[in-house]
Every structure is written in structure tokens, then in C-alpha cells.
Amino acid sequence: MKKLLRNTLRSRWFQRAVGFLAAEFLRLVWLTNRFTYEPADVYAQVEPRMPAIFAFWHGQHLMTPFIKTKASYRAKVLISMHRDGEFNAIAAERLGIETIRGSGDHGSAFHRKGGVAAFKEMVRALADNYNVALTADVPKRSQVAGLGIIMLARESGRPIMPFAMATSRFVRLKNWDRTTINLPFGRGALVGIEEIVVPPDADAATMETLRQRLEATLNEATRRAYAKVGRPDAIPEGSHEGSHG
């Protein structure tokens, strides 16, 4: 029985079915939530700075494909090579987002998880005028920003645009990243506070300072997003700290 279940989970037809259903469910969520934006002209501010690196917290990622509101916004998203990543990749591609497979973590498993190839592909994508989206936190350490995204900004010369998306109705799982499954028929908010630019000659100390700023900015964006949908009680653990105004 266990082998049958394992084979089913790994089968392409099952992964495609789950990815398809997930994409259509998220489309329903997007269409039935009344979204507000902070700042109100966020797209007008961000568009001149494209291509950009869009950063968000792991677990708060399900609605992020919908920041691509125009067909002219070409975008690629980094998705892990783990089995769960297959579902996410299929859903993202159905929602019009191209994918880059690999790890954004620059830890000991960086090479094994396809991190080097993924990093190079993200740099190429930005050079080819694609926006690149990826989670900022280190795998298995929710809401702790890693240096990988800072390195990507230094190498590519493109700005990091941290943002958070929240809905008033959701289910939060009890896994390591407290994955938030957004639900239809509520209120939604997209909050972006400031861009982060990494100088091409940034040394280790500068990069660490910018990493901390990214972490604080994402926490503050998350706090504001939940406040805007009337759910300040629902801020994930970690977003209460390191506020950045």
C-alpha cells in the first residue's frame, strides 16, 4: 500500500491533476477577494524598475503569481526540486509564470539541490528582462532571510522588491513554514514598502546589513498586509519582530 501511494504521488498524471486543481482554486481566490494595495500606485512605482527580484516569505507564497497583472510582465519563479515543488511548478505555469528549478539556499546542499545552475539561470533571466520571484527565507527556517537573494541582487545589479500578500480568510498549516492556504470570498492586500539595492562591490558586512533589512522589511510588509485585511491577530510568528518603517 505504501509503495502504491508513493508511486501515485510521484506519477506525472497525479502531479498534473493536483497542479491544475491548485491553479484553478487560486484563480478563484484571486477573483473573489477584494484586493487593496499599499502604496495605491505600487505598480506605477515598480514598473520603471523592472526587471526586478520579487521577494516574499515561504508559506505566504500561494497568491504571488497574481502580482503579474500584465502580459508584458515576463516573470520566472524559483521552485525547489523536491516532489512538492512539482505541484507548485505545474500550478505556476498554468497561471502564466515560467519556472526555474533549484534551491535558493546557499548552504551545504547548494550544489546537490541544483542551486548553482538555478542561480546562473536567475541571473540570465534578469539580464533577458524577466522579473524573478523567489522566497527570501532559508529552507526549514521560516522568516529568516538568507544571503542567496542578496547575492543574486549583487550579481545581477537588479533591485529587490520585498512584498507580502494576505487574505482575510485562510487556513494555516502546522508545518515548518506555516503555509497559508488562502480562501475565497474575503478581503486581500498586497503591500510593498521599499526596494533594496545591493551595490556590486558589497562586502560581507554590507550584505549582512542588507539581509537584515530585507528580513525586517518583509516582516513589516506582512504585518501591514494582515492589518489591512482586518486580521492583525493572524500575523505569522516572526513577523512581529524586526519591524522596519
The pTM for the full model equals: 0.89
Residue range 167-182, pLDDT digits in tens: 999 999 988 888 999 9
Residue range 68-122, pLDDT digits in tens: 877 778 999 999 877 667 888 999 999 999 999 987 655 544 444 568 899 999 9
Are 43 and 69 contacting, i.e. CB atoms less than 8 angstroms apart? Answer: yes
> Which domains, and CATH codes, for the chain?
2-234 (3.40.1130)
Are 232 and 222 contacting, i.e. CB atoms less than 8 angstroms apart? Answer: no
Type and span of the H or E element at 100:
strand 98-101
pLDDT of residue 80: 85
Buried b / exposed e over 41-53, threshold 16 CB at 10 Å, is ebeeebeeebbbb
Q: How many CB atoms lie within 10 A of CB 240?
A: 11
Q: Return the residue matching grid coordinates 512605482.
A: 45
Alpha carbons 6 and 134: distance in angstroms, whole number:
28
At 174 the three-state DSSP class reads coil
Alpha carbons 150 and 153: distance in angstroms, whole number:
5
Residue range 200-241, pLDDT digits in tens: 999 999 999 999 999 999 999 999 999 999 999 888 776 654
Type and span of the H or E element at 207:
helix 204-228
Are 21 and 27 contacting, i.e. CB atoms less than 8 angstroms apart? Answer: no
* pLDDT, averaged across the chain: 89
Answer left, alpha or beta for residue 114, where phi above 0 means left and psi between -120 and 50 means alpha. Answer: left
